[in-house]
Every structure is written in C-alpha cells, then in structure tokens.
C-alpha cells in the first residue's frame, strides 16, 4: 500500500494541504482547480458574501451537475437495455 502524500492546493486565495494517495494527486489538483473556479465565479458574479457561503453554493452547484450526469447516465443505460431487448427479439424473429 502506498503512503499518502501531502499536496498543497489553492482555493479562493487560501492554501490548503491535503493528504492523498500519490496516484490521486492529479485528480485532487484538478478538483481543487474546479472548486476554485466555481467559487471565484460565485464570488465575482453574485451577491453572496463570506467564504463559507460561497463554498456551500459551489458545493451545491457541483453536486447538482453530478446528479444531472448520473441521471443522464441512468437514462442512457435504460435506453441501451431496451435496445438490447429489441435487438434480441429481432434476432429471435429472424432465426
């Protein structure tokens, strides 16, 4: 098992040291960049004041995006399942 490493990330002009497995370092940095960008957008374009409130709004926005993607993925899986059943019926009818 690999030892966690310390990674410094910058979010809304603050530095945070986070421990993570070495193989997840790049994903952690990308996640921090995404969160930083989301928080900066909320801060710069909204009337929300306070880092904590900005962080909560950013988390809600990102969670909403994730839920939409999961819902879309579920819909695609459902469509694929129906297409497989239809294909199977067609194959059986042709056989």
The 10s digit of each residue's pLDDT in 1-27 is 689 999 999 999 999 999 999 999 999
Residue-wise pLDDT for 38-89, tens only, equals: 999 999 998 888 999 999 999 999 999 999 999 888 888 889 898 899 889 8
Q: Cα separation of 90 and 95, whole Å? A: 9
Question: What's the confidence (pLDDT) of residue 64?
Answer: 95
The pTM (predicted TM-score) of the whole model is: 0.72
Question: What's the confidence (pLDDT) of residue 11?
Answer: 96
- For residues 5 and 19, the answer to whether their CB atoms sit within 8 Å is yes
CATH value of 5-94 in 3.80.10.10, 3.40.980.10, 3.40.50.620, 3.30.160.880: 3.30.160.880
- For residues 64 and 38, the answer to whether their CB atoms sit within 8 Å is no
DSSP 3-state of 40: helix
Question: What's the confidence (pLDDT) of residue 2?
Answer: 84
């Amino acid at each position: 098992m690999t030892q966690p490493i310390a990674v410094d990330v910058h979010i809304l002009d603050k530095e945070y040291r986070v421990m993570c497995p070495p193989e997840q370092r790049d994903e952690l940095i990308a996640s921090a960049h995404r969160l930083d960008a989301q928080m900066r957008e909320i801060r710069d374009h909204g009337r929300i004041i306070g880092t904590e409130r900005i962080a909560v709004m950013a988390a809600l926005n990102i969670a909403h995006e994730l839920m939409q993607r999961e819902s879309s993925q579920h819909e695609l899986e459902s469509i694929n399942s129906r297409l497989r059943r239809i294909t199977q019926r067609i194959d059986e009818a042709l056989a």
